[in-house]
Amino acid sequence: MRDLFDETKTIMKKYGIKANKDLGQNFLINNEVVENIIKSSDVSKEDLIIEIGPGLGTLTKRLLENAGKVICIELDKKMIKILNDRFGDYSNFEIINDDVLKVDLNKIIKENLNNNIKKAKIVANLPYYITTPIIMKLLEDKLDIDSIVVMIQKEVAERLIETPGGKNTGAITHTIFYYCESEKVMEVPNSSFIPEPEVTSEVIKMKLRKKPAVELDNPKVMFMIIKSAFMQRRKTLLNSLTNAQVFTNKQEGLEILKKLNLEENVRAENLKLEDYANIAREIEK
């Protein structure tokens, strides 16, 4: 830990960097965490790694040593100078100075996969203020990627890796489960960063499924139903979906629930993804 602490402090001092809270800058100084991220991403010379928010380059350095190519996307101009100074000599290093939410990741991946670089993977210690939009983008853009290994806030991580129907289930749990198999890699104490964040962190891995967890002609309908159900999660599913006009009326709702063997008073968090898929199939009839 001491080495990375010293290195980070030295770089910050040399370039006059103060962590920018608005950009979610918490720089990793725990070597064990860095190595676990590299290991769980299973980085090889056949991989294209897209690193979101490289910051001062702590993860980037280890990624460059292990991957075929590393493309970093960083919003903060000050970091770009540092990263170019540190890694400009690596032939497998590329940097894009932009907001990751605005970048066409599909294009980048298509342009960089070839006979030597066969798989694309996402690796990041994410800026926590936009965790959900970033993860939703990575999934909804239907990128040709193998896996996503990210450090995020523990509380969010628990929702993302929950099995649908478990106690931490939220609408996003279903989205993750639809696209990925997910798992916890490790919990990360606040002391692993400069400056220390106010929340505990967790590294998680999401491995993209070859086929989504449920088969539907129009998954958008199912996601609309899930969103409506969780918007009023304290109500029964019957009431929230009737209010949201997913069910034309209560009677229709009752009939659908009965047909699907779901209790009349079931709530949003009790359902499995397959249950939502079945409701979507009934609605679409």
Q: Which residues bind ligand SAM (CB under 6 A)?
A: 23-28, 52-56, 58-59, 73-76, 79, 99-101, 125, 127, 130
As to burial, measured by CB atoms within 10 angstroms (0-12 exposed, 13-18 middle, 19+ buried), residue 76 is: middle
Q: Nearer to ligand SAM by C-beta: 26 or 66?
A: 26
Cα 47 to chain centroid, rounded: 19
Q: Nearer to ligand SAM by C-beta: 122 or 237?
A: 122
Q: CB of 44: closest distance to ligand SAM in angstroms?
A: 21
- Nearest to ligand SAM by Cβ — which residue? 53
In degrees, rounded to 5, the angle at the alpha carbon of residue 208 between the alpha carbons of residues 207 and 211 is 140
Q: Nearer to ligand SAM by C-beta: 30 or 112?
A: 30
Under 8 Å CB-to-CB from 46, ≥6 apart: which residues?
68, 116, 117, 118, 119
Q: CB of 79: closest distance to ligand SAM in angstroms?
A: 5
Assess contact for 282 and 260: CB atoms under 8 A.
yes
Name the pairing type of β-strands 47-52 and 69-74.
parallel
Assess contact for 194 and 8: CB atoms under 8 A.
yes
Q: Nearer to ligand SAM by C-beta: 28 or 135?
A: 28
Integer CA distances (angstroms), 97 to 1, 70, 129, 161, 199, in order: 29, 14, 19, 30, 28
Q: Nearer to ligand SAM by C-beta: 1 or 101?
A: 101
Q: Nearer to ligand SAM by C-beta: 57 or 164?
A: 57
Local structure of residue 236 (DSSP, 8 states): B
Q: CB of 128: closest distance to ligand SAM in angstroms?
A: 7
Q: CB of 256: closest distance to ligand SAM in angstroms?
A: 41
Q: CB of 207: closest distance to ligand SAM in angstroms?
A: 21
Q: CB of 32: closest distance to ligand SAM in angstroms?
A: 13
Q: Which two tokens stand for residue 150?
A: 């990210």
Q: Nearer to ligand SAM by C-beta: 100 or 277?
A: 100
Dist CA 276 CA 109 (whole Å): 32
Dist CA 4 CA 194 (whole Å): 10
Dist CA 70 CA 207 (whole Å): 19
Q: CB of 271: closest distance to ligand SAM in angstroms?
A: 33
